[in-house]
Amino acid sequence: MDRRFFLRSGGIALASISASLAMPSFLHRAVLAQAGVVTGSRRKTLVAIFQRGAVDGLNMVIPYAERTYYDLRPTIAIPKPTSGNPDSAIDLDGFFGLHPSLSSLKSQWDKKRLAIVHAAGSPANTRSHFDAQDYMESGTPNIKSTRDGWLNRLLQSNAQKERPLFRAVSVTQMMPRVLQGRAPALAISNLANFSVRAGQASARVQGGFEEIYEQVTTDQLGGTAKETFEAINYLKKVNPAQYRPENGAAYPRSRFGNSLLQIAQLIKAGVGLEIAFTDMGGWDTHVNQGGSRGQLSNLLQQFGAGISALATDLGNRMDDVVILTMSEFGRTVRENGNRGTDHGHANAMLVVGNSVRGGKVYGAWPGLKSDQLFEGRDLALTTDFRAVFAEVAHRHLGNKNLSSVFPGYSADGSKFCGFLGQ
């Protein structure tokens, strides 16, 4: 019998003693945890969003005060902030501006709840999507043999008595590399479909499976099955299909928007969600990237609207939530012959939350002059992505074992940017 299952069985006894509603055990524990009864603190949640394909960070967060930016991007540059021009960059601090399609995030910036780390990324110089995603997810740049992902190691190292079923959920079809590993995590692409699907016979068939799997409680299959049925039964009560966002939040009608909506649901349900993950593709804009409008603009519009809707929907709950975005590398400073950009190096990451010291672009800016560029062509790196991840892990999720989450990297506070308070 593995430890996880043992603990979970213990939890069932607790729930039945307290004789509350017919609430699943993990939920009950989660409620206790939220009330501070068990863990002594509120549950903090990290929502991690991966922009797969390498977003063009220089057009997402534009260094409009850099002349070189306009020299090197004759057709795709975003115009300097100009009042009355909806196609111009949205000024942030007199040097950087947001892409106009990210206007939905401006209010977060104004409320100092959006921080940006620019020129951040992986110290590995690979320009291969799959290598770079691999490194960003394993959290070990240049080392391929790392078996688990850094979010999973984060779960492993945060020793907790309570290990709710919905502690880590990836709202994706497959379990992403970043959450793979020993610590239990769920991959659910659609909460409403997370069920035994046998039409009218579903309940009966599920009952049959539950009885069958009760026979094998001592092994991994039995333990996993038990968790599966608990999750199904719980989600049935939550009735995800009937979810209504609050505060007028409007999620984009897309897989990405739908994923964020489901994350909001799980957070509100108080099921002990500590890490949520989802991703969005399409950022590999080699051809016809567009400027203020076009391909990248459409993607950013959806991206910003999704994050904004999540923050709006969660309202005060954003006190305990940090949204963090990442993308495997940036793109070339110079646009290519196809009005697009090729694979580059450093990139920009967004951090959103009520506890975030927002309204500021963090990280040293390396400049865009040719001698300032990495390998003569790309935005140089000034902040290792592990410093950003570690700051969130430590200051938001309270992780004290950063060396086990990021092996081979000394993630001490001196490396933190400071976008989260102590």
Partner 1 sequence: MRNNRTISNRRHQKARSLVVLMSAILLAPGPVLPQRQRENRSDLSEDQRIVHLLNRIAFGARPGDIERVKAIGLRTYIEQQLSPEKISDSLAESKVKHLETLNMSTAQLYDKFPQPGQLIRELQRQGLLPQELAEVRRESGPNPNMEMQRSPAPQNAMDNEKVRRAIREYYEKNGLQPPQRIMMELQASRILRAVYSERQFQEVMVDFWTNHFNVFAGKGADRWLLTAYDRDTIRPHALGKFSDLLLATAKSPAMLFYLDNFQSVSPNMQARRGLQPRAPIFRPGAPNGRNNEMQRPQPQRARRGLNENYARELMELHTLGVDGGYTQKDVQEVARCFTGWTIIAPRGGGALQGLRGAVARQNAGTFFFNPRVHDDGEKIVLGQKIQAGGGIDDGLKVLEILANHPSTARFIATKLVVHLVADEPPAALVDRVAATYKRSGGDIREMLRTILYSAEFNSPGIYRAKIKRPFELAVSTLRTLGAETNGGPQLHRWIAQMGEPLYGFQAPTGYSDTAEIWVTTGGLLERMNFGLAIAGNRVPGTRVDLKRLVDNSESDKSETMDRLLKVILAGELSAGTRAALLKQLNDSAPSLAAPASSQMDRDTDGPRRQILRAGNVNDPVARMVGLILGSPEFQRQ
Residues in 7-46 that interact with partner 1 by CB under 8 A: none
221: contact with partner 1 by CB under 8 A? yes
Q: Reduce the DSSP state of residue 51 to 3 states and report it.
A: strand
| Residue placing its CB nearer to partner 1 in the complex, 205 or 397 | 205
Minimal distance, residue 41 CB to partner 1, in Å: 27
Sole binder of partner 1 in the list 33, 77, 188, 266 (CB under 8 A)? 188
Strands 114-121 and 383-384: parallel
Buried-state track 268-291, b at ≥16 Cβ within 10 A, e below 16: bbbbbbbbbbbbbebbbbeeebbb
- Span from 34-42, 116-124, 179-187, 355-363 in contact with partner 1 (CB under 8 A): 179-187
Tokens representing 80?
């300097």
In terms of CB distance, is 281 or 398 closer to partner 1?
281
Give the footprint of partner 1 on residues 361-380 (CB under 8 A): 375, 377
Q: With left for phi above 0 and alpha for psi between -120 and 50, is residue 133 left, alpha or beta?
A: alpha
Among 173, 239, 370, 410, binds partner 1 (CB under 8 A): 173
What would the two tokens of residue 8 be?
């979970």
Ramachandran sector of residue 50 (left: φ over 0; alpha: ψ -120 to 50; beta: rest): beta
Q: Using CB under 8 A, which of 23, 38, 175, 238 touches partner 1? A: 175
How many residues contact partner 1, by CB under 8 A?
A: 79
- Quickly count: other Cβ atoms within 10 Å of residue 242's Cβ: 7
Is residue 238 involved in binding partner 1 (CB under 8 A)?
no
Distance between CA 14 and CA 31 in Å, rounded? 13
| Residues ≥6 apart with Cβ < 8 Å to 201 | none
Q: Is the dihedral of CA 360, 361, 364, 368 positive or negative?
A: negative
Interface pick for partner 1 out of 204, 237, 369, 400 (rule CB under 8 A) = 204
Q: Among 157, 160, 190, 233, which residue interacts with partner 1 (rule: CB under 8 A)?
A: 190
Q: Is 227 in the site for partner 1 (CB under 8 A)?
A: yes
The only residue of 10, 74, 208, 398 in contact with partner 1, by rule CB under 8 A:
208
Contact flag: residue 404 with partner 1 (CB under 8 A)? no
Residues 47 and 325: beta-carbon distance below 8 Å: no
Look up residue 20 and give its two tokens. 């509350």
Burial of residue 209 (number of CB atoms within 10 Å: 0-12, 13-18, 19+):
middle
The nearest distance, CB 53 to partner 1, in angstroms, is 6
CB 134 to partner 1: min, Å: 6
Q: Applying CB under 8 A, does 288 fall inside the site for partner 1?
A: yes
Told to check if 337 binds partner 1 by CB under 8 A, we report: yes
The pattern of x and - marking residues 134 through 163 that bind partner 1 according to CB under 8 A reads x---------xx------------------
CB of 417 to partner 1, least distance (A): 28
> Binding of partner 1 at residue 232 (CB under 8 A)?
yes
Under the binding rule (CB under 8 A), the answer on residue 225 touching partner 1 is yes
The answer to the question of residue 354 lying near partner 1 (CB under 8 A) is no
| Residue 295 neighbours by CB under 8 Å, 6+ apart | 285, 288, 289
Helix, strand counts (H, E) of the chain? 13, 12
Q: Which is nearer to partner 1, 191 or 361 (CB)?
A: 191
* Neighbouring residues of 202: CB distance < 8 A, sequence distance ≥ 6: 195, 196
Which region among 26-34, 115-123, 209-217, 262-270 touches partner 1 (by CB under 8 A)?
209-217
Which span sits near partner 1 by CB under 8 A: 10-18, 107-115, 314-322, 335-343? 335-343
For residue 383, the number of C-alpha atoms closer than 13 Å in the C-beta half-sphere is 26
Quick one: which of 104, 228, 354, 355 contacts partner 1 (CB under 8 A)? 228
Q: Under a CB-based contact definition with an 8 Å cutoff, are residues 347 and 330 in contact?
A: yes
218 binds partner 1 (CB under 8 A): no
Tell me the Cα Rg of the chain: 22
Residues 53-92 that bind partner 1 (CB under 8 A): 53
Instruction: Out of 18, 41, 85, 193, name the contact with partner 1 by CB under 8 A.
Output: 193
- Residue range at the interface with partner 1 (CB under 8 A); choices 70-78, 84-92, 156-164, 208-216: 208-216
Counting contacts by CB under 8 A, is residue 396 touching partner 1?
no
The DSSP H or E segment spanning 152 is helix 150-157
Supply 30's token pair.
């989660």
- How far, in Å, CA of 343 to CA of 347, rounded? 11
